[in-house]
Amino acid sequence: DTVLLDIRNLSVAYRGEDGMVPAVRNVSFTLGRERLGIVGESGSGKSTIGRALLRLLPTAQITADRIQFGQHDLTRASERQMLDIRGRHMSMILQDPKFSLNPVRPVGDQVAEAFRIHHRCTRSEAKAKALKMLKAVRINDPERVYGLYPHEVSGGMGQRIMIAMMLIAGPEVIIADEPTSALDVTIRLDVLKLLDDLVTSRGSGLIMISHDLNLVRNFCDRVLIMYAGRIVEMLDARNMGAAQHPYTRGLMAAQPRIGGNRQPLAVLKRDPAWLEEKAP
Ligand code: ATP
Ligand code: MG
Closest ligand (CA of 225):
1
ipTM score here? 0.99
pLDDT tens profile 16-55: 999 999 999 999 999 999 999 999 989 999 999 999 999 9
- Domains of the chain by start residue, with CATH: 5-89+171-276 (3.40.50.300), 100-170 (no CATH)
Mean pLDDT by 10 residues, the chain (280 residues): 95 94 97 96 95 94 96 94 94 82 94 95 96 93 96 90 94 94 84 89 94 90 95 94 89 68 42 36
User: Half-sphere exposure of residue 164, counting CA atoms within 13 Å on the CB side?
Assistant: 32
**Beta partners for residue 29, in sequence order:** 7
Residue 269: predicted pLDDT: 45
Closest ligand (CA of 52):
1
Residue 270: predicted pLDDT: 38
Residue 109 CB-density burial (10 A; 0-12 exposed, 13-18 middle, 19+ buried): middle
The residue nearest atom 26 of ligand 1, judged by CA position, is: 14
**Ligand 1 atom nearest to 21, measured from its CA:** 30
- Cβ of 210 closer than 6 Å to ligand 1, yes or no, is no
**Ligand 1 atom nearest to 40, measured from its CA:** 6
Whole-angstrom distance, CA of residue 73 vs CA of residue 76: 6
CA of 159 to the centre of ligand 2 (A): 15
- Cβ of 96 closer than 6 Å to ligand 1, yes or no, is no
pLDDT tens profile 95-117: 877 678 899 999 999 999 999 99
- Cβ of 23 closer than 6 Å to ligand 1, yes or no, is yes
Whole-angstrom distance, CA of residue 124 vs CA of residue 6: 38
**Beta partners for residue 213, in sequence order:** none
- Cβ of 47 closer than 6 Å to ligand 1, yes or no, is yes
- Cβ of 59 closer than 6 Å to ligand 1, yes or no, is no
Task: Write a three-state SS string for 55-100.
Answer: CCCCCCEEECCEEEECCEECCCCCHHHHHHHECCCEEEECCCHHHH
